[in-house]
Amino acid sequence: LRVFNVHLRPPLELSGGALLSSARTTASVRLGEARSLMRACPDADLVAGDFNEADGSAALATLAAAGFGDALAEWVPRRKETHLWPLARGLTLRKRLDHVAYRTARLACVGCGVLSGFEEGASDHQPVLARLVGR
C-alpha cells in the first residue's frame, strides 16, 4: 500500500499575507502539486492530508481522473467543516480543506468522519478519519 500525506500550498501570498483573492490565485499551484504527485507516483493508493482545497476542486479532480475517490465528499455532509479559523468579533471561518483520497480500484471506503474536540490548543484543522478496506 503506497500512502502519501500531503500539505498542498496554503492560500497565502509569497509575502505570507492573505488576501481575499489568495485562495483563487494560489489554486493553480495546488493543481500543479497534485499533477506532479500523480506523475511521480502513478501507483499511489492513498493521498491524504491538508489539500487547502474544497470538495470538487481542480486538485481533487486531478486525483479523481486518476481513479481516486474522496472519502470526505462521499461520507461527510457538506455542512461539516475540517478547518476552523477564528476571526474578529466572534466570527469563525469554516472550510473543508482536508481530504482522504483513495484508489477506488484497490480500496473501498466504508466510512469517514471528522473528529471534533481538537479546536483548543491543537490545530485549526480537524482530523479526518476514514475506514478503508482492500478490494
d(CA 63, CA 47): 9
pLDDT in tens, 97-118: 999 999 999 999 999 999 987 6
pLDDT recorded at residue 119: 65
Burial of 117 (0-12, 13-18, 19+ CB in 10 A): exposed
d(CA 120, CA 128): 17
What angle (nearest 5°) sits at the alpha carbon of residue 50, between those of residues 57 and 88?
Answer: 90
pLDDT recorded at residue 15: 72
pLDDT in tens, 4-26: 999 998 877 767 666 666 777 78
- The secondary structure of residue 125, as a DSSP letter, is B
pLDDT recorded at residue 73: 96
Whether 125 contacts 82, CB under 8 Å: yes
Beta-carbon neighbour count of residue 134 at 10 Å? 8
**Helix (H/G/I), strand (E/B), else coil: 97:** coil
pLDDT in tens, 50-102: 999 999 999 999 999 999 999 999 999 988 988 887 778 888 878 899 999 99
